Structure 1
Amino acid sequence: MQPLSRWISVSALALMALNAPAQAAVPADALVGPIAEYKLYVLDNLEQLVAHTREFTQAIEQGNLDKAQALYAPTRVYYERIEPIAEMFADLDASIDAREDDYEHGVKDPDFTGFHRLEYGLFKAQSTQGLAPYAKGLMQDVDDLDQRVQGLTFPPSTVVGGAAALMEEVAATKVSGEEDRYSRSDLWDFQANVDGAKEIFELFKPLAAEEDAGFVKRVQGNFDDVEAILADYRVDPQDPKKGFVSYDKVSDADRRALTGPVNVLAEDLSTLRGLLGLN
């Protein structure tokens, strides 16, 4: 059950959406339900992100390398699912999820923090030594993100556009293997991005179907194709919690095979906002 404060926040969101100018092809009040449901989805994932990040960072502070390594990928899942919203806070997104490429001095840059700085220490240096300050900083940033999102009004165009943005990110950084270059846990992030994009699509699917039923059927099929490909790389198909094989085990040919379906899905989803009149 959701805390009362979260339902109140969603109710306020609904009222704001009802009072917003009706510029969409679909009626403004038709957007209230999907947006409210999506906010609950984001809040649920944030709650999990906070809890998992706490366990992850505590393992680092306690010097438990094996546990920290095991928790890295499953913790990031909750962030990757909700990136369209997390990225609205550019300062936090940079401190939580930036990669070393974003900094002039790479891993030695004092501004390089967050998950990927910890990933470098845990999987490249194979040590928790010196990581405690970064772990504490990550926990503070995740708590900050959680607090900021509580009262946030979700712009419909940002939410709907987020489905394509997630799949475009998969094509740009996940398939290439640059996202989790030390942990090789790219497929975890890959699946999380697909989960987040699919959640948006499912929530707006009834409205999209009223505009173009063929589009909805095509996108649904594309999602099925991508998820079927990912399923082949699960450690245990019967237990999704066990995650995926190391990305090192995915051949270059298989990576190229992933690119096509992902790009097709991203291209189709990029038209969803226009279909609903939200451009």
Structure 2
Amino acid sequence: MSWRHWLGSALFAALALVVAGCGQPPPENGESGGEGREAKEETAESTGGETTGGETTAETTSEETTSEGTTAVDVGGSPELGAAADEYEEYVVEQTALLEKSTKGFTGAVLAGDVEKAKRLYGPAREPWERIEPIAAALGDYDPNIDAREGDVPEEEWRGFHRIEKSLWVRDTTEGQEEYARQLMEDVTNLREEVETVELEPVDLVTGSVELLNEVSAGKITGEEDRYSHTDLYDINANVEGSEVAFEELKPEVAGEDIALANDVVEGFDEVYEELEQYRRGDGWVSYEKLDEADRRALSQKVDALAEPLSRVGQVLEG
């Protein structure tokens, strides 16, 4: 998604954005290289990188009022929540390693001039990125460098997945994309190395889980993310998986405070997956062009229905 959604304290503003979007109808493929929800690992989000003693902290300020008027939550620091954050860090590291591997396959096809293979690998290659995008977006310029869409940055600065995507589907060629393929591989490798130093807090799981759903509501549902390849369902499913993984790490603590809320969130994820499942084809997904306005509205409504209880998790953990 666009780097513009990730600047400053937008992480917390997302809590308001997701809920505010409930009920609004939206405007208007390949092999799966990712891991499904059964992994039950983690994904999260952070607000800004600060380096201390060789470790990058994804720092979140509690009770901070953002420019859009949303107040941050302080979920505390119990040993159980600290352990959840530690496990989540392992998941983020695992996903960036998977991203490096999948990107190597994709860029290798581009460098070899194999258009059909590159097209086939494009959607799956992006899935690990979409599961952990909030973390990556908080660490410098990785989001605009890796995931900027056309128009998000000046033309001369545009690179990453979507630049290559346009050439593959609009021009049906890899010609002229070698430089962008090499740069993408370098950016992903640098991200993987930096993520290994990241130190997360429990609040990052709360905001990350919500922000990943906001990614779906704010951009993916419209089809604007993968506008040339129409592989949006890879991204949407990966966003939901990442959101669920972050919540799963928090679920024992949430259930201890409010079992009904925990059950509502679990049910919401189940309903979103059920809505998505009809579009699965083997290890991949149908082209997003196959979904008409009614299909997209139905999916959007399921995501919004999940976003409402999920947005209350932070308040419950705040006590």
**Alpha-carbon contact 1:114-1:134 (below 8 Å) kept:** yes
Q: 257, 264, 275: which one pairs with 2:316?
A: 275
1:262 aligns to 2:312 (yes or no)? no
Q: 157, 181, 196: which one pairs with 1:135?
A: 181
Q: 201, 225, 230: which one pairs with 1:155?
A: 201
Q: Which residue number in structure 1 is paired with residue 292 of structure 2?
A: 251
What amino acid is aligned across from residue 231 of structure 1 in structure 2? Answer: E
Q: 195, 205, 229: which one pairs with 2:241?
A: 195
Stretch moving more, 23-32 or 131-140? 23-32
Query: Of Structure 1 and Structure 2, which has the larger fraction of its residues in strand?
Result: 2
The SS at the match of 2:97 is helix
For residues 102 and 144 of structure 1, the distance between their equivalents in structure 2, rounded to whole angstroms, comes to 22
CA deviation digits over 1:75-128, x for unaligned, max 9?
000100011211112411110011113135xxxx11111011111111111110
What amino acid is aligned across from residue 289 of structure 2 in structure 1? Answer: D
Q: 125, 130, 134: which one pairs with 1:80?
A: 130
Following superposition of structure 1 onto structure 2, how do residues 111-260 of structure 1 map, counting pairs within 5 Å?
A: 111-236=157-282, 242-260=283-301
For residues 43 and 92 of structure 1, the distance between their equivalents in structure 2, rounded to whole angstroms, comes to 15
| TM-fit CA distance, 1:268 | 2.1
| TM-fit CA distance, 1:28 | 2.3
Q: Which residue number in structure 2 is paired with residue 37 of structure 1?
A: 87
Q: Which residue number in structure 2 is paired with residue 3 of structure 1?
A: none
What amino acid is aligned across from residue 166 of structure 1 in structure 2? Answer: L
**Alpha-carbon contact 2:169-2:229 (below 8 Å) kept:** yes
Q: Which residue number in structure 2 is paired with residue 9 of structure 1?
A: none
For residues 131 and 267 of structure 1, the distance between their equivalents in structure 2, rounded to whole angstroms, comes to 42
| TM-fit CA distance, 1:26 | 5.4
What amino acid is aligned across from residue 235 of structure 1 in structure 2? Answer: R
Where does structure 2 lack aligned partners over 5 or more consecutive residues? 1-52, 63-72
| TM-fit CA distance, 1:156 | 2.1
The verdict on how the C-alpha distance between 1:268 and 1:101 changes in structure 2, with shifts beyond 3 A counting, is: farther
For residues 268 and 113 of structure 1, the distance between their equivalents in structure 2, rounded to whole angstroms, comes to 37
Where does structure 1 lack aligned partners over 5 or more consecutive residues? 1-11, 237-241
Following superposition of structure 1 onto structure 2, how do residues 6-85 of structure 1 map, counting pairs within 5 Å?
A: 27-85=77-135
The SS at the match of 2:141 is helix
The SS at the match of 1:128 is coil
**Alpha-carbon contact 1:81-1:195 (below 8 Å) kept:** yes
For residues 75 and 119 of structure 2, the distance between their equivalents in structure 1, rounded to whole angstroms, comes to 47
1:93 aligns to 2:143 (yes or no)? yes
| TM-fit CA distance, 1:25 | 5.6
Query: Of Structure 1 and Structure 2, which has the larger fraction of its residues in helix?
Result: 1
When the two structures are superposed, what TM-score results if normalisation uses the length of structure 1? 0.85
**Alpha-carbon contact 1:63-1:129 (below 8 Å) kept:** yes
What amino acid is aligned across from residue 140 of structure 1 in structure 2? Answer: E
What amino acid is aligned across from residue 44 of structure 1 in structure 2? Answer: E
What amino acid is aligned across from residue 301 of structure 2 in structure 1? Answer: G
The SS at the match of 1:101 is coil
| TM-fit CA distance, 1:273 | 1.8
For residues 158 and 273 of structure 1, the distance between their equivalents in structure 2, rounded to whole angstroms, comes to 10
> How big is the alpha-carbon RMSD for the aligned residues of Structure 1 and Structure 2?
1.9
The verdict on how the C-alpha distance between 1:267 and 1:101 changes in structure 2, with shifts beyond 3 A counting, is: farther
What amino acid is aligned across from residue 268 of structure 2 in structure 1? Answer: N
| TM-fit CA distance, 1:24 | 5.2
Q: Which has the higher contact order (CA 8 A, sep 6+)?
A: 2
